Structure 1
Amino acid sequence: MIQAALIGAGSRGMFAYASYALKRPDEVQFVAVAEPNEEKRALFAKLHNIPPENQFSSWQELLAQPQLCEALLICTQDTQHFEPTMAALDKGYQILLEKPMSPDPLESLQMAEKAERLGRILTICHGMRYSTYYSTLKQLIDERIVGRLISIQWNENVGFWHQAHSFVRGNWRNSKESSPMILQKCCHDMDMLQWLVGGQCLKISSFGSLTHFTPANAPEGSTLRCTDGCQVEHECPYSALKLYYNDKDEWPAKVVALEPDREVRLKALQEGPYGRCVYHCDNDVVDHQVANLLFDNEVTVAFTMTAFTNEISRTFKIMGTAGEIRGNHKWNEIEIIHFSGKRQVIHPERVEGGHDGADTLIMRDFLRQVRSGTAGRTSAMESARSHLIAFAAEHSRLTGQTVIMENYINELKVTQ
């Protein structure tokens, strides 16, 4: 059985990944935790029976100890990934790191290079690669079921309420405090597209902006908080009372308060970030963005990310020389349309766990890597390269220039 430690006991660390140990105690046991929030730290320690001497209020305290175990999960906020990862690699830990690697492109490269140099495992939580749905899609493309791959249309449908929760009110609302939207939300997509295409991105251009979630669009009668007597709260699809307070005992309400006590939750909405009007937050990340990508095997990709969808899903059309593949991840459906007229519909097998089982499968694969010392589905360097596509897209959006990836990477290395 593998022993592991967790740095960052937020919702991803505590519920998405470490919960695997509660279901498979014969495979992994958590023996230490570092988390500055006392309530979260205490809850995680209670769930995993972690003794007081292995409960730390910071990653620095945990990593100051002699190496406590083999495996380490780092699930801190985006800007707090680089330092603990670099220190933990030196310490000898095998690491599962929440995405994105870092909001800085050079730091992402440096982490990957160090893991490679030291021969350590550094697996990035690009869970989509582990999903049975996308694994099936990759197999179909590699088998040339629709001939040679030529073009992809790919949509990241964020969903109106998810945008409001995570990218307007939540932890990833402000690029200076976390990451640009194209990195934080869409590094999954950039990684997936690189994997599916099976090539290296040569050029990228991108456009987008924050258009809707601004004070200029606040409806008449709105207030700074949904709990301040807002006159339009009843009709507003972004009402914090609807999303977090009324009969809500699951995610995302648990982000507001771990316990479902109504008094505690109301106080959190009155004082915390999730009770704010979506038109009066300190958000600056885009609410829609497009990117065009050219790969070295001549495949082109048209990517769209938008907040303004009802469903939270990824949809796509993959065009080959002999047909098309269309899909909607939310429906777990892949449709193959052959130019001959034949049609097939595939519903990949589902696995228990978050993100259609991807959270379970990435933990399973990470533990297999630690046990066997063999490579995982993706390397840290490959993850860093897909991150660089996202960074280049943001550079293009801000400058209006088409980015040539080779030049962009060389310029980064000059500053190293």
Structure 2
Amino acid sequence: MTTAVHTHTSLRDHVGAPLDRPVTLAVVGAGARGAAYAELAAQWPERVRVVAVAEPRDAVREPFASRHGVPGENAVADWRELTARGRIADAVLIATLDADHLAPTAAFAEQGYDILLEKPIAPGEAESVAIGEAAARTGAMVAVCHVMRYTHYTRKVKELLPEIGEVVSVEHLEPIGAYHFAHSFVRGNWRRTDESSCTLLAKSCHDIDWLGHVIGRPVVRASSFGGLFHFRPENRPALATDRCLDCPLQDSCAYSATTLYRDGLRHGGTKRYFTRVMTAGTLTEEAVTEALAEGSYGRCVYACDNDAVDHQVVNLEYEGGATASFTMTAFTPLENRHTKIFGTRGQLTGDGRHIRVYDFRTERTTVVDTSLDGSSAAEGHAGGDENLIRSFVDALHQGRPELIRSGIGESVDSHRVVFAAEHARRTGTVVTL
């Protein structure tokens, strides 16, 4: 017979014993991802309740606290103010900028919190390993937001894989999308590797992790090529100005900030997500115009301080001889990832929603529709965001650690593959793991 738990507790202390109250959750970093995850959690008030937030921007923190009913004393600018009070929740969601993950994760782990950590774990291998070590030392359950593991599409791919025999090779494409790349990796927070992390880690650690999850074997060797091809000063059109707002080319340029953010404001859709980010959530003509005139998101893409690579290929060899080729590129529509998996008895092709299985013997193709489209963050990663939060909350509320599919140990391992691939790109070598 199981018993209820009544105080702040960790998952490891009540495995198999459901809580008789909602899980209490603190949020560190209430930007786009932190706010989105908290909003999903708000769907299940009987299972989880946001009780604290640490966010340095008043204009972001105050509406967040109001939305989730966070008491004033628990709505603070710095996460250290929360840790200074001792443990005030069961779990914490850490969604700060990439470079700011290690310190809060280690501090909250020491206080016994279970942790949901936005990807990437950290910008460098040493910090990523250190977070893994902090989890092992304290016994904290640390789950990483590798949302692709949690989609119905991924579960179905793994279910269907045996039908094509043994996996021999994989071809995988991440089409980042031209305006998404311009927003995040030319004008935005991930434009510089010294301020965030390399593009492969920031954008595609999902994909490297997903490939390992699907193939089910460790990587033994990696090579990579790529660079910053287009978003460079020498490619700037002759008439272009430093800001799109007063540029004579703003209505014809493929990367016009005025077009992107005003479309998002006026017409909604996926572009509204990016408009909301650039205005810190204020969706008005005045806020958009002010951000275009003064903020980083109003700059010409050829006049930014960016160095993030806009295209990269990665080749991986797995234990046992299977291989994978991965392409990450900015120069696409914003659409689902595309994958072909080549097996000894057939081929599986997927586009993030539809899965086609071709059988060599019968020469027939079976099509499965997983029913959810839209694999970008703006679209909830084809249900991955919601399933991640549901799994994390249910694991803690029901005492079921098996619901966590992206634990810190395996996530550190897949991050190490990313770091190896990036080292291979920078040095022109083949890296053995």
Class of the TM-score when normalised by the shorter of the 2 chains: over 0.9
Matched residues, percent identical? 42
1:333 and 2:359 equivalent?
A: no
Counterpart position of 1:219? 237
2:322 alignment partner, one of 299, 324, 328: 299
1:161 and 2:207 equivalent?
A: no
2:145/2:406 contact within 8 Å kept: no
When residues 351 and 305 of structure 1 are mapped into structure 2, their CA distance, relative to the original with a 3 A threshold, is closer
CA drift of 1:117 comes to 3.0
Counterpart position of 2:115? 95
Partner AA of 1:344 in structure 2: T
Q: Secondary structure at the match of 1:139?
A: helix
Q: Secondary structure at the match of 1:60?
A: helix
Correspondence 1:333-412 to 2 at 5 A? 333-340=354-361, 341-350=363-372, 354-371=380-397, 372=399, 374-375=401-402, 376-405=404-433
Question: Relative to structure 2, which stretch is displaced further, 390-399 or 305-314?
Answer: 305-314
Q: Secondary structure at the match of 2:302?
A: coil
The C-alpha deviation readout for 1:345-399, integer Å capped at 9, x for no partner, is 1111449971111111111111122230524213201000000111111101111
Q: Secondary structure at the match of 1:279?
A: coil
1:291/1:304 contact within 8 Å kept: yes
Counterpart position of 2:28? 7
When residues 317 and 21 of structure 1 are mapped into structure 2, their CA distance, relative to the original with a 3 A threshold, is closer
1:178 and 2:178 equivalent?
A: no
| Unpaired segments ≥5 residues, structure 1 | 406-416
Counterpart position of 1:152? 170
1:288 and 2:311 equivalent?
A: yes
Counterpart position of 1:208? 226
Counterpart position of 1:275? 298
1:7/1:76 contact within 8 Å kept: yes
CA drift of 1:334 comes to 0.7
Q: Distance in 2 between matches of 1:133 and 1:110?
A: 32
Counterpart position of 1:410? none
Q: Distance in 1 between matches of 2:372 and 2:181?
A: 26
Q: Distance in 2 between matches of 1:105 and 1:180?
A: 12
When residues 223 and 351 of structure 1 are mapped into structure 2, their CA distance, relative to the original with a 3 A threshold, is closer
1:265 and 2:265 equivalent?
A: no
Q: Distance in 2 between matches of 1:54 and 1:85?
A: 18
Q: Distance in 1 between matches of 2:200 and 2:168?
A: 24
1:132/1:351 contact within 8 Å kept: no
Counterpart position of 2:55? 35
1:173/1:284 contact within 8 Å kept: yes
Counterpart position of 2:3? none
Counterpart position of 2:336? 313
2:180/2:334 contact within 8 Å kept: no
2:41/2:390 contact within 8 Å kept: no
1:50 alignment partner, one of 67, 70, 83: 70
When residues 227 and 62 of structure 1 are mapped into structure 2, their CA distance, relative to the original with a 3 A threshold, is same
TM-score (norm 2): 0.90
Q: Secondary structure at the match of 1:359?
A: helix
Counterpart position of 2:142? 122
TM-score (norm 1): 0.94
When residues 343 and 253 of structure 1 are mapped into structure 2, their CA distance, relative to the original with a 3 A threshold, is same
Structure 1 moving runs of 4+ over 6 Å: none
Partner AA of 2:392 in structure 1: F
Q: Secondary structure at the match of 1:292?
A: strand
Counterpart position of 2:9? none
Partner AA of 1:10 in structure 2: G
Q: Secondary structure at the match of 2:143?
A: strand
Counterpart position of 1:234? 251
Q: Distance in 2 between matches of 1:186 and 1:158?
A: 9
Partner AA of 2:414 in structure 1: S
Partner AA of 1:9 in structure 2: A
1:294/1:301 contact within 8 Å kept: yes
Q: Distance in 1 between matches of 2:156 and 2:344?
A: 19
1:109/1:381 contact within 8 Å kept: no
1:113/1:381 contact within 8 Å kept: no
The C-alpha deviation readout for 1:245-298, integer Å capped at 9, x for no partner, is 241552111112112221121011100011000111111010000011001121
Counterpart position of 2:262? 245
